[in-house]
Structure 1
Amino acid sequence: MAPADAPAAFGDRQTLWNAAEDAEKRKDAVPARELLVSLPHELDFAQRRALVEAFVSEQLVARGMVADVAMHRPGKEGDERNFHAHIL
């Protein structure tokens, strides 16, 4: 997800992250931060997706940031309620 004035090429993950890394000149630079967001298991996928999109739009994109979002279902092992999203 990106602001309207972001380059269209940033819709491609490889292009986005190559550009982010190229923009950093220091060897100890941090080109991204990761947010790990737990999602309510009571919601269906569409509702969880809408929740994540609203959060990203309001908290990141509205502030001029580009966000790469990956939503995950619970794994075969562990808690079957572990719906979550990784946001870079």
Structure 2
Amino acid sequence: MTVALMWEARAAEGRGEELLAWAREQGLPEQPLRRETFRAPEDRVLVITWWDAPYDAELPELPEPSGELVTRAVHRWRFGSVGVG
């Protein structure tokens, strides 16, 4: 099964580039099938990693950035693939 982990954070005022750089620098102890980083208005950063694993597998995730870099706690979601269209 393919599992996608989504990690999304919103940077503190004026720190969007710093949050984006921080997210790109974060390594994982295991290599996902794929990793992609996105940005959006309001200095939001989204990282999606894809894994070949059961839905409930213990998988490495990006950590929380330091409190002064973000405006709130990171949002995280887990999705299981239902097919490629």
Normalised-by-shorter TM-score class: 0.3 to 0.5
Question: Normalized against structure 2, the TM-score is what?
Answer: 0.42
Query: Greater share of helix residues, 1 or 2?
Result: 1
Greater Rg, structure 1 or structure 2?
1
More strand, by proportion:
2
* TM-score when normalising by structure 1: 0.40
